[in-house]
Amino acid sequence: MVEACSGDWIGLAVVVGPGGIGSAVAAELARSCPDLTVLTAGRHGAPDCSLRLDIENDRDLDGLAASLRDQAMPLRLVFNCTGRLHGPALQPEKRLQQVNRSQLQQQFGINAIAPILLAKAIEPLLDRDQPFHFASLSARVGSIGDNRSGGWYGYRAAKAAQNQLLRSLSIEWARRWPMATVSLLHPGTTDTALSRPFQSFVAPEKLFSPERAARQLVKVLLEQTPAQSGAFLAWDGQSIDW
């Protein structure tokens, strides 16, 4: 068991996004932190979700705090594991002429706008005297300093925007909620539907199972303290350039 789970880690944890990484993170939190009650939240029709939540739907977000208050436990951790890279009408751009407004809006909708609105939705549940963690999946390709290959305009820009939004959040919460910690976490390339079309470019030893990714992410997350709030970290705990 991770040492950080002892003592303070009692209450409610919510993992948003029931995909490959999200489901594995929820299972790992339940294993590592037995005093946490772990709920999963996802869109209507998502399997085995404790809460129905479309993170891009304002009405769902507006009702989230009330749903969590019904649990009658202090909220200790929220981990956003949602993300979008491709879909039926969405593909990462290889060159400028493939960039269009609709796809940019799709990328920003879930990868940048939704995480900060999720933080806004749960903020009324924070307690100034109680430790709280807010984490969200980012991606190394969202690093401006590390961008040496270009392409993927919308996804890169949306993840960079999320990083800036949550970095700003960490600064505000340090003043208002001094025991809160905000973390931006890069999981590494993980064997999920999001990465599957692009796995041929990944060495086998660098392609993680969801379970391995979850173990690594939870370990890094539980090591963070308010002094490190707002950090952009890889799965191994190493800092990533903004």
- State how far the Cα of 166 lies from the Cα of 164, in Å rounded to an integer: 6
Q: Which residue matches tokens 């879909």?
A: 87
**For the chain, which ranges sit under pLDDT 70?**
1-8, 45, 193-205
pLDDT of residue 3: 47
What is the signed CA dihedral for 133, 110, 97, 141, rounded to 10 degrees? 20
Angle between helices 210-223 and 20-32 (to 10 degrees): 50
In this structure, what token pair is assigned to residue 177? Answer: 């909620």
Size (the chain), residues: 242
pLDDT of residue 6: 54
By the 10 Å C-beta count (0-12 exposed, 13-18 middle, 19+ buried), 123 is classed as middle
Q: What sign for the dihedral angle of Cα 30, 83, 113, 137?
A: positive
- State how far the Cα of 35 lies from the Cα of 77, in Å rounded to an integer: 12
pLDDT of residue 197: 60
pLDDT above 70: percentage of residues in the chain: 90
pTM of the model: 0.92
* b/e code 127-161 from CB counts within 10 Å (16+ = b): eeeebbbbbbbbbbbbbeeeeeeeebbbbbbbbbb
pLDDT of residue 136: 98
pLDDT of residue 175: 97
Which is the CATH superfamily of the domain at 3-234?
Answer: NAD(P)-binding Rossmann-like Domain (3.40.50.720)
User: Quick check: 166 and 78 in contact, CB under 8 A?
Assistant: no
pLDDT of residue 196: 62
Angle between helices 101-108 and 153-176 (to 10 degrees): 30
User: Quick check: 189 and 202 in contact, CB under 8 A?
Assistant: yes
pLDDT of residue 108: 98
